Amino acid sequence: MLCEMCGREVDSVTAVRVEGSILRVCAACAKFGQSVAPPGPATAARTSMEGPLSGGPVQLRFRTRRTEERDLFSELPALELSPDWFRRVRQARERLTWTPEELGKRLNEKKSVVLKIEAGTFRPSDALLRKIERLLKIRLTAEPATPES
Ligand SMILES: [Zn+2]
């Protein structure tokens, strides 16, 4: 069998997940990926020099959906926004009589980004949110004002 990573001919390969796809690689390359749990406990210690060549394609079972939705959620935004944060953005922008283009320019973003922000369909990074807050002199976070009971 050929290692799908380095291309070496080896007598056993391991299925590992590398950046969202499954590769069959040699032992040396296996450490670069995340091992995919084999169906049984029969992986290591099976130097099969004996026995008939039970060729045939290596069946890879992976039930996980391909995780190609990039890590949108791996950098979870830390700021908790007020429910109407995007409306606040638009109101503040309109108060300044800026067009979405103008706001975009000041934020170094495209107009389409501004429009998506104002529609609430795009959640900017915390850094960008802070920038918007500073620029428009508004508050977008839902930081509770010192709770009193
Ligand atoms: Zn290899």
Ligand 1 centre to CA of 6 (Å) is 4
Ligand 1 centre to CA of 68 (Å) is 24
List CB contacts of 40: < 8 A, sequence separation 6 or more: none
Ligand 1 centre to CA of 1 (Å) is 11
In this predicted structure, what is the pLDDT of residue 43?
47
Helix (H, G, I), strand (E, B) or coil at 90: helix
Ligand 1 centre to CA of 34 (Å) is 14
In this predicted structure, what is the pLDDT of residue 110?
96
High-pLDDT (> 90) share of the chain, %: 53
| Pairing of the two strands 14-18 and 21-25 | antiparallel
Mean pLDDT, residues 21-37:
88
Ligand 1 centre to CA of 60 (Å) is 18
In this predicted structure, what is the pLDDT of residue 80?
87
Check pLDDT > 50 for residue 125: yes
DSSP H helical ranges for the chain: 27-30, 85-95, 100-107, 111-119, 126-136
pLDDT in tens, 81-99: 999 999 999 999 999 999 9
Q: With bands split at pLDDT 50, 70 and 90, how would you rate the model's confidence at 138?
A: very high
In this predicted structure, what is the pLDDT of residue 142?
78
Check pLDDT > 60 for residue 51: no
Ligand 1 centre to CA of 8 (Å) is 6
